[in-house]
Amino acid sequence: MSRLLLVSNRLPVTVKADKDGVSVVRSAGGLATGLRGPHERSGGLWIGWPGDVSRLTEAQKASVEEQLAGLRCVPLYLSASEVSRFYEGYSNRTLWPLCHYLIDRLPRQDRDWDVYRKVNERFADLVARHYQPGDTIWVHDYQLMLVPAFLRARLPQARIGYFHHIPFPSSEIFRTLPHRSELMRGLMGADLIGFHTLTYVRHFASTLMRLLGLETVVDRVSYDGREVRLGAFPMGIDAQSFEDLAKEPAVLEEVRVHREKGPEMRLLLGVDRLDYTKGIPRRLLAVQRLLEREPAWRGRLRFVQVAVPSRTAVADYAAYREKVDELVGRINGLYGSVHNVPVHYLYRSFNEKQLAALYRSADVMLVTPIRDGMNLVAKEFCAARPDEDGVLVLSEFAGAADELGDAVLVNPYDVEGLADALEVALEMPAEERRTRMRSLRARVKEYDVHRWVRSFLDTLESVPTPPPRLEPAGAEAALARMREAGHLLLLIDYDGTLVPFAARPELATPDAELLDLLQRLATRRDTRVHIVSGRTKETLETWFGGLPVGLHAEHGLWSHLGPGEPWTSLNGVTTDWKNLVRPVLEAFAARVPGAFVEEKSASLAWHYRQVDRVFGARQARELRLHLGEVFAQGPLEVLPGDKVVEVRARGVDKGRVVRLVTEGLAPGTLVVAIGDDRTDEDLFAALPEGSLAIHAGGKASRARYRVMGPDEVRKLLSALLVG
């Protein structure tokens, strides 16, 4: 097992100072429990903020450091302004409401972004300082979305995982954020990006497509020369420990006390952080509604709502607290009596034993967030019910609902429906309660937090480490080889390699600077230049006919070896299939606004660069499938390109050009091929041994060298002309 470096905003500890000194105590949270084993066994480190230590003396701080080191924790201290702008600010005032679909809560001005970015960079610096080759890094949650990319820049070979603990919203929500693309690129520094549910994975993939134009194939995305994997890893809890707690005599005694009011009295329970995503007001209104419409339940219901104080420095939380206080007061005023109040509202934290006792006492557990990444309370409740009783009422909008289908699922926005569900739960026959609880418990126990950690880390370990990148030093090395060579033969693709893609193919014309560069390269000492493109020979002739270079059109179907030479074509290429394929492509173009068909002599291309990204990609996939099915045995080949599906005669590929132009090559000639897409891989594959293949972009490629895009290609070629 490789050493594990865990990175989260908060360290899993609490620092307590009292008159006797200062102590660092491990927190009990699910994440801390689940990760403790791998953290300790791997001899790893946990890096994060230990909480506010500004009031500690120097001596106390030294003691904290020592105790943290004993727990293998590395502190990152945040200044007061960083706490307010990075943590309370950008993380909790912007990203938290955004990911929970509450865009009306977003601040009108985006003032804290710079601090968020800086703190993320500080995290990455600290992690990089402790990193040793072979370590696995696991970054947690929305406070640190930029850390993976900052780390990738510092540690290109590191294995980096990221887990998002809160929902990933629909791309329609995410794209309202001013820094949306930076955040997406931040995450894409990771090798594996994990979410609680497949829905979040789907939202993330469509956001990648819409914002960065990146297509996810099943669970993989090519990005920056690496393969990034996406996955759903529903987090579990330490189910065994909750079950054990719920069987302890002291806990059972507390359960007896809770239930003392007699079998007629029903206990409803809510346990949450006091957060506006948890749906407490509507839950209270549903209880009120039930009492209002069913007088028989009055005096027979006790709703215990435990709410842990949370993010009290954020104004929205204070306002929310007031709202809850007011509602509780109103319901108790309306339906309370001298002997009984319906709502018991406890605004404080409970320890696990107290929670277990409450869970085990409840008739109905109400988990009704309006949005929740997962919600572990729902799972804790099930684990704490070895008696196989109790009904879970669960919001459809909690990630947990995907796994816990045997709960009574509710729409938390529908107060009347919530009241109905409460009634169903209160009146559910014992046998049904048992059957449901048995299946809920089976799931919660099987997919516990240990399994979650294992499956995430196993997947992360299985992602191949990225191939070494051609960093500036590498580019230098390639350049040095090119300069040393006695003779040079350059085979260069055009679109995406020498020029960026344009909205329509005819707009990607060569600029004067490029023509000059090609002219000078072609007249460089002992250098020959060939342009190897998918374009038609007419286009290449118009653009480059005046230059002393070789031209190869339609992926090598047509070749013209230099000025004064004729265009020759490959023999035996059939094109009668075009009449069958053309109508299919035209039908797809007709139903996809912005798509069009381009005809070449031995190929047809369906272009969709101007189509809505998600729709275009989906239609392209469908077109490829359709063509594959109908023409599987035909003399043609379907090629997915960059926003184009190309159908060409089988047996024509760019590799043919290599064979043609390397015949009778002067000894000591270095062949250099540069290209950016699938068709250039054929070129690379056909190169003679000892040649130089350079991939111009971020896709997976067999090329040993890589530069990013046309700008860098031009820079490399220009460098060849000097010195």
Instruction: Provide the binding-site residues for ligand ADQ, judged by CB under 6 A.
Output: 30, 165-166, 235, 271-273, 306-308, 349-350, 355, 372-377, 380
Chain centre to alpha carbon of residue 136 = 18
Q: What is the DSSP letter of 110?
A: -
Looking at the Cβ atoms of 358 and 589, the one nearer to ligand ADQ is 358
Q: Which three-class secondary structure string do you get for 207-254?
A: HHHHHHCCCEECCEEEECCEEEEEEECCCCCCHHHHHHHHHCHHHHHH
Minimum distance from residue 7 beta carbon to ligand ADQ (Å): 15
Minimum distance from residue 497 beta carbon to ligand ADQ (Å): 44
Q: How many CB atoms lie within 10 A of CB 414?
A: 13
Minimum distance from residue 350 beta carbon to ligand ADQ (Å): 4
Cα atoms found within 13 Å of the Cα of residue 625, Cβ hemisphere only:
6
Looking at the Cβ atoms of 306 and 540, the one nearer to ligand ADQ is 306
Q: Which of 57, 52, 49 is nearest to 22 (CA)?
A: 57
Minimum distance from residue 370 beta carbon to ligand ADQ (Å): 12
Minimum distance from residue 269 beta carbon to ligand ADQ (Å): 11
Looking at the Cβ atoms of 376 and 672, the one nearer to ligand ADQ is 376
What gap in Å lies between CA 129 and CA 367, rounded to an integer? 42
Runs of H (alpha helix) within 270-314:
280-293
Cα atoms found within 13 Å of the Cα of residue 360, Cβ hemisphere only:
27
Beta-carbon contacts of 154 under 8 Å, excluding residues fewer than 6 positions away, are 124, 125, 128
What gap in Å lies between CA 257 and CA 277, rounded to an integer? 31
Minimum distance from residue 12 beta carbon to ligand ADQ (Å): 12
Looking at the Cβ atoms of 197 and 691, the one nearer to ligand ADQ is 197
Runs of H (alpha helix) within 79-138:
80-82, 96-99, 113-130
Q: Is 36 exposed, middle or buried (0-12, 13-18, 19+ CB in 10 A)?
A: middle
What gap in Å lies between CA 29 and CA 23, rounded to an integer? 18
Looking at the Cβ atoms of 44 and 373, the one nearer to ligand ADQ is 373
Looking at the Cβ atoms of 150 and 456, the one nearer to ligand ADQ is 456
Q: Give kind and range of the element (H or E) at residue 717.
A: helix 709-721
Looking at the Cβ atoms of 77 and 350, the one nearer to ligand ADQ is 350
Minimum distance from residue 382 beta carbon to ligand ADQ (Å): 13
Residues facing 615 on adjacent strands: none
Looking at the Cβ atoms of 346 and 660, the one nearer to ligand ADQ is 346
Looking at the Cβ atoms of 146 and 307, the one nearer to ligand ADQ is 307
What gap in Å lies between CA 668 and CA 485, rounded to an integer? 7
Query: Which SS3 state, helix, strand or coil, does residue 111 take?
Result: coil
Residues facing 52 on adjacent strands: none
Looking at the Cβ atoms of 272 and 681, the one nearer to ligand ADQ is 272
Looking at the Cβ atoms of 96 and 543, the one nearer to ligand ADQ is 96
Minimum distance from residue 29 beta carbon to ligand ADQ (Å): 6
Minimum distance from residue 391 beta carbon to ligand ADQ (Å): 18
Give one DSSP letter per residue of 671-697, joined into a string.
EEEEE-SHHHHHHHHTPPTT-EEEEES
> Could you say which of 112, 135, 493, 495 is catalytic?
493
What gap in Å lies between CA 221 and CA 706, rounded to an integer? 18
- Whether the CB-CB separation of 674 and 663 falls below 8 Å is answered with no
Minimum distance from residue 304 beta carbon to ligand ADQ (Å): 10
Minimum distance from residue 357 beta carbon to ligand ADQ (Å): 12
Query: Which SS3 state, helix, strand or coil, does residue 590 take?
Result: helix
- Is 325 an active-site residue? no
Strand 669-675 and strand 636-640: the pairing is: unpaired
Q: Which of 561, 556, 574 is nearest to 653 (CA)?
A: 556
What gap in Å lies between CA 406 and CA 428, rounded to an integer? 13
Place of tokens 């189910």: 239
Chain centre to alpha carbon of residue 425 = 37
What gap in Å lies between CA 383 and CA 376, rounded to an integer? 11
Looking at the Cβ atoms of 238 and 677, the one nearer to ligand ADQ is 238
Looking at the Cβ atoms of 410 and 518, the one nearer to ligand ADQ is 410
Minimum distance from residue 76 beta carbon to ligand ADQ (Å): 20
What gap in Å lies between CA 82 and CA 97, rounded to an integer? 19
CA 154 vs CA 46, 125, 249, 266, 407: distances in Å: 19, 8, 53, 58, 46
SS3 content of the chain, % helix, strand, coil (to 5): 45, 20, 35
How long, in residues, is the chain? 723
Q: Which of 71, 32, 49, 61 is nearest to 122 (CA)?
A: 49
Sign, Cα dihedral of 223, 228, 234, 236: negative
Within 475-557, strands assigned E span 487-492, 527-532, 550-553
Minimum distance from residue 271 beta carbon to ligand ADQ (Å): 5
Give one DSSP letter per residue of 413-435, joined into a string.
T-HHHHHHHHHHHHH--HHHHHH
Beta-carbon contacts of 338 under 8 Å, excluding residues fewer than 6 positions away, are none
Name the residues annotated as catalytic.
493
